[in-house]
Structure 1
Amino acid sequence: MSQLCVVPTCKFKSSTLCLCCLKNLCDDHLKEHNDLIRIGFECLKEEMMNLNEEMKMIDLEKLIDVQREKLDQWKENCHEIIECYYKQKCDELQQFSREKFEKQRKELNQIETSINNYHQNETIFRKDLQSLRLSLYDLRQEIDQFKRKGIQVTIQPFLLNNQSISIEDSKPNAFHINRAVLTSPDRTIECTDGWQSEFASNDRSILITLADNLCLFDRNLTLIKQSPWPFEGIYDMCWSSTLASFIVVTEKKRVYRINEVTLATERIYGIEEKDWLACTCSEAYLYLTTHEIGTDIFQYKLLPLIRPVKQWQPPFSCKPHESIHTIRSKDRTLALIIRESLGGVINIELRSAATLNRLWSLPLDIRSSGLWSRINCCSLQYNEWLVVHAASSRLFHIDKEGQLKFVHEYQPKLNNATMFGSNTLVIHLGSKVHFHQLS
């Protein structure tokens, strides 16, 4: 017995079974069904043709040029860094050579004075003569060596690997922190407990404060270098690709520069002493914030010499009753952690690095328990952000539009956290450091 057409409003018997959807249809509805499929194919064909025309309009060379500009800027920055480093070492060579020469001249004058004094003295002992002869002989040997070779200059080869620049497809997918991944670290480093738990990283290495030491780890989490930190307490750290150095802000109003390879530390005297709290670097600038309610933001140009460029004060930096806890740079923007007066609401704001105009603002479910309790943030993939609140041991994942995606209370209680590269979350607990691979 024939079945009715599958269309509910149709009273006719079905005439055939549609092979594409396996439904019984009458002649009229089968034609209508086929017409809809045909129209769908026509629409798909039109969409394909439109996409084909759009592809023809793509200026591939322009897209390549935009990215090549980044490479050109990187090359120019490297040239500037090398030129500044070369001039610095030339000055050091000149100063060291002059000091060496003057030291030898002074020693020769002292020997001459001693000989003249003995010559005028009627009594002279053999041991005095022998001593002067040995001193003059040693000095001659040193001067001859200086004449032949001058000052020894040892140059390490310039290292550049294929990981310095990566070329890859842009990925539109969102980035997610998996709650399950945070329950157990992939690796843990034990250390002496201390109140300092700062770190900064680039694509190659991460610098971590472990008690009274600075420890540099590579991408394999292998300890490359360790150096004691004999100076005052560290408030914040950041990495400068332009200077190829880590920048450190301390509690005694000082800013230091740390060599990535040797961990040699030098104070940056081009920055005046202020109550600094936080720091961050873009390719061209260093940004510093003051340790006060009604925070100021200072912008310093990095090359050819570190010098002040701009200062933002309340109400442009923040409101007079607010304070900035953290500042982080990413792709011509600045992320600011801003808190209202004691016990007030804490916001994360994304600003333009050029104008400090607000792009978005998000209030966080945080009530700070102390005037300067630790609140950190770092950038994630795809222009997203991670906020770290030590007092509540919570991680806040925020998307590129300024919307809250994920909140996780980390156990055991954390001191600080940051990202190392695109997929390693580093959690500092004080007595140990956890590393979590996120992908």
Structure 2
Amino acid sequence: MDPNEHSNRLSTEFISLVEKINTLSNRTRSSEQPFLGALEQWRIESQQTLDSFCNEKRQTFINSRLEELNRLRTNVEELACVQDVTQQNTNSIKTSIDRIEQDINKIQFNFRPLLIDEHLIVRRSQDLLPFPPSNQAIELTDSSYAVLAGNKQHLLVHREPTLCLLDRQLTIIKETSWPLDDISDICWSSVLNRFIVINSQYVFILDERTMVLEQCLTSDTVNWIRGTCSDTKLYLSTEGIGSSIFEYTLMPSIVLLKEWKSPVTCAHNEWIEDLKFHNDFLGLVIGRCKNNAVCFELRSTVTLNCLWSIQLEEVCSMYATRCCPMLNHQWIVVAFRNPRIFHISSGGKLISADKKCRSPSNICQIGSNLLAIWDQKCIYLQNLCCII
């Protein structure tokens, strides 16, 4: 090769490499980077939390002293109307006023620095599947129903004959007897700060602090099969083909707002296998007889219009296909038949599928970094994040 030609080729390659580096540098600095956007949102939310804490302490400091001063003011006004006021009455009020003044002038305080854990921010991998082997699991009884739901710290599961509250290490910390034969689903309501436990005809609220079940809904006309909560609403879907979705308010009381019926929910020969709320949308798993396939769809909570749909082949069976929302508007779908786990993008595209998994029949998140997966014999955990 001619030396000049070789030099020109290298020069072109170097220019291309420099341009690539510059492009990546600009992308790294861009405020549109998902990580930087999420970091800024975290900063705003953290500042709001700190502001709320400081305002609460400020109001507590002010109100406690104003309450005492107002009480003393009332006492003075009452004594002013009394003729036989003694010096002892006056001295008592003076002493109280002096005490409050001294408290205001000489209050002792000590503010510890607010320390931030360097491992507080985690990176979520895009290559979730296949999951690595898990060493965190809890065995199940054979007659347990495949229902589970999580909040930030705990997991509620059915482990025949009880409902068990588990921590993030799958240790049973509390349990209570389940009074009915079957149990259809469990979901978490952040506004109620309660778990909602669903039976085919009854809906209960469970306080994780007391493990007391409180019946809140009953039905004689339909069989409920799935449930999910938004910040303000409860959505219940019905069993069988042509499934309906019932929409309820959660606060100040649980009241029916609307019943969505087929064909808005699904076709007359289809049924809802699962539904989950996430970021103002509903994720629906729609069962179909044709080709043993199901569709996973993202729906508007306002109109139930479909934003996108993805068909998952040869997964329909007597065991429902279940779904779980994740950060970044992505989804995980698990199928028991021909065991598979699907990772679906925010735009409804299949990112990856694991065909060598065990036999998953349900899935949910605990906080933002743990997945709990219901297997035939156990519930096991998968960590979604790594430290940066």
CA–CA separation in structure 1 for the residues paired with 2:137 and 2:43: 41
| Matched pairs, number | 307
Structure with greater Cα Rg: 1
Distance 1:420 1:65, change over 3 A: closer
2:248–2:255 contact (8 Å) kept in structure 1: yes
CA–CA separation in structure 1 for the residues paired with 2:42 and 2:323: 33
Counterpart amino acid of residue 217 in structure 1: L
1:206 equivalenced with 2:155 (yes/no) = yes
Distance 1:272 1:396, change over 3 A: same
**Cα offset, 1:5, TM superposition:** 4.0
Deviations 1:103-155 (A, max 9, x none): xxxxxxxxxxxxxxxxxxxxxxxxxxxxxxxxxxxxxxxxxxxxxxxxxxxxx
Distance 1:71 1:291, change over 3 A: farther
Deviations 1:282-319 (A, max 9, x none): 10110111112111111111111111112221221111
1:379 equivalenced with 2:330 (yes/no) = no
1:351 equivalenced with 2:299 (yes/no) = yes
1:255–1:267 contact (8 Å) kept in structure 2: yes
Alignment partner, residue 95 of structure 1? none
CA–CA separation in structure 1 for the residues paired with 2:238 and 2:252: 24
CA–CA separation in structure 2 for the residues paired with 1:254 and 1:44: 61
Distance 1:242 1:69, change over 3 A: farther
Alignment partner, residue 396 of structure 1? 342
**Cα offset, 1:68, TM superposition:** 6.0
Alignment partner, residue 306 of structure 1? 254
**Cα offset, 1:411, TM superposition:** 5.2
Aligned counterpart in structure 2 of residue 420 of structure 1, from 354, 366, 376: 366
Alignment partner, residue 379 of structure 2? 433
1:256–1:266 contact (8 Å) kept in structure 2: yes
Give the SS at the match of 2:231. coil
Deviations 1:31-88 (A, max 9, x none): xx69x97xx89x969x97x999999xxxx9xx8799669969xx9xxxxxxxxxxxxx
CA–CA separation in structure 1 for the residues paired with 2:47 and 2:242: 36
Distance 1:53 1:413, change over 3 A: closer
Distance 1:263 1:347, change over 3 A: same
1:244 equivalenced with 2:244 (yes/no) = no
Counterpart amino acid of residue 348 in structure 1: F
**Cα offset, 1:414, TM superposition:** 3.7
1:294–1:319 contact (8 Å) kept in structure 2: yes
Aligned counterpart in structure 2 of residue 405 of structure 1, from 351, 367, 384: 351
**Cα offset, 1:274, TM superposition:** 2.5
CA–CA separation in structure 1 for the residues paired with 2:215 and 2:29: 58
Greater relative CO, 1 or 2 (CA 8 Å, sep 6+): 2
**Cα offset, 1:400, TM superposition:** 1.1
**Cα offset, 1:430, TM superposition:** 4.2
TM-score, structure 2 length as denominator? 0.68
Distance 1:52 1:354, change over 3 A: same
Give the SS at the match of 1:179. coil
Aligned CA RMSD, in angstroms, stands at 3.9
1:267 equivalenced with 2:215 (yes/no) = yes
Give the SS at the match of 1:7. helix
Deviations 1:338-369 (A, max 9, x none): 01247643100011122212111000023423
2:146–2:158 contact (8 Å) kept in structure 1: yes
Alignment partner, residue 141 of structure 2? 192
CA–CA separation in structure 1 for the residues paired with 2:155 and 2:30: 47
2:130–2:357 contact (8 Å) kept in structure 1: no
Distance 1:233 1:410, change over 3 A: farther
Distance 1:66 1:336, change over 3 A: farther
Query: Which segments of 5 or more consecutive residues in structure 2 lack a partner in the other structure?
Result: 53-113, 115-119
**Cα offset, 1:198, TM superposition:** 0.7
Distance 1:361 1:71, change over 3 A: farther
Counterpart amino acid of residue 6 in structure 1: N
Give the SS at the match of 1:366. coil
Counterpart amino acid of residue 387 in structure 1: V
Distance 1:432 1:384, change over 3 A: same
1:206–1:217 contact (8 Å) kept in structure 2: yes
Aligned counterpart in structure 2 of residue 295 of structure 1, from 230, 237, 243: 243
Q: Percent identity?
A: 29
CA–CA separation in structure 1 for the residues paired with 2:356 and 2:28: 47
Aligned counterpart in structure 2 of residue 176 of structure 1, from 127, 151, 163: 127
Q: How does 1:22-37 map to 2 (within 5 A)?
A: none
CA–CA separation in structure 1 for the residues paired with 2:151 and 2:277: 13
Q: How does 1:8-407 map to 2 (within 5 A)?
A: 175-179=126-130, 181=132, 184-251=133-200, 253-269=201-217, 274-341=222-289, 344-370=292-318, 373-407=319-353
